[in-house]
Structure 1
Amino acid sequence: MTNPNHLILPSCLGFAETLAVLKQAFAAKQITLFAEIPHSALAAEHGLPLAPASLLIVGHPAKGTPLMQADLLLAAELPLKVLVYEQNGRVQVLYRRVLPLVAGRGLDAAETAAGQIDAATGALIAAALESVSG
């Protein structure tokens, strides 16, 4: 089932390699990695099984801050979320789009900026994954 709020792209790499490639791609574009939440590793620490899954929280303050200036409540949604996960033997990358979070708030300039962030982030993830697909 597709969700218009998400961009999901397949990776030809393993889970750890996909994480590494994305981190390198974000760093190369000066996108800050604010946090990595290793869901599966944290579950394992408590004896709970979970397929490989890690959430990258990334962003660039110069891009996200104007959205929060337009509506401070967007600070609960930002920075950007990128989930790397393995399901049914396939590694995928899920990017949670920003535009749906901004749409309908009557913030035309913020909607434009959110659309640009989504386009740039989606293209960056796709390019990073394609660069290693050989």
Structure 2
Amino acid sequence: MRLYLIRLSGLLLLSLSLLCAPAALWAAEGLVTVKSSHSVNDTADKLKDVLNAKGMTVFKRINHTDGAKGVGLDLRPTELIVFGNPKVGTPLMQCAQSVAIDLPQKALVWEDADGQVWLGYNDPQYLKKRHNIEGCDEEMEKIEAALRSLAKAATQ
């Protein structure tokens, strides 16, 4: 019984310390997040429109909230858009073929517990590190700039 109480009090302290931690600690490693001024649906629509306007391929739009409803579960609005451009992705895969596991690109749009909508995507520098990509600095810079631009267009 005593060991149980010690574990329970330790768990309580850990829980309280996590609640007081800065929001940055909650961010997933390698994920760039941008606040949106729109709903999840509108942000995803805007992103899809700008991707199409830029000549990129939108492979799939997945509504995770609908998926959850389909199995009787609740989930705040959450959508994933899978997109890419072989002209950009292929040279990256030529530098480090394992990066293909993270391609095509994905953008996640979700509403947090406070009602704030976010757009997130994989940080190209994280992918560079994860896959030990060397010799593709120019491609990486283009991808970073494009993702920043796409996120800004969809969220403002």
Structure 2-normalised TM-score?
A: 0.75
**% identical aligned pairs:** 32
Aligned-residue offset at 1:24 = 0.4
Aligned-residue offset at 1:106 = 5.2
1:17 to 42, 48, 53: 42
Aligned to 1:108, the other structure's residue is in SS state coil
Q: Does 1:7 align with 2:45?
A: no
In the other structure, the counterpart of 1:105 is 132
In the other structure, the counterpart of 2:144 is 118
Between the two proteins, the alignment pairs up a number of residues equal to: 129
Amino acid at match of 2:145: A
The separation in 2 between residues aligned to 1:106 and 1:120, in whole angstroms, is 19
Amino acid at match of 2:96: D
2:111 to 67, 74, 86: 86
Amino acid at match of 1:73: S
Aligned-residue offset at 1:3 = 5.4
- Cα pair 2:36 2:154 within 8 Å, conserved: no
CA displacement 1:68-115 (0-9 Å, x = unmatched): 122221111111110000112111111112221123725122x43123
Q: Cα RMSD (Å) of the superposition?
A: 1.7
Q: Which has the larger radius of gyration?
A: 2
Structure 1-normalised TM-score?
A: 0.86
Unpaired runs of 5+ residues, structure 2, are 1-23
Aligned to 2:132, the other structure's residue is in SS state coil
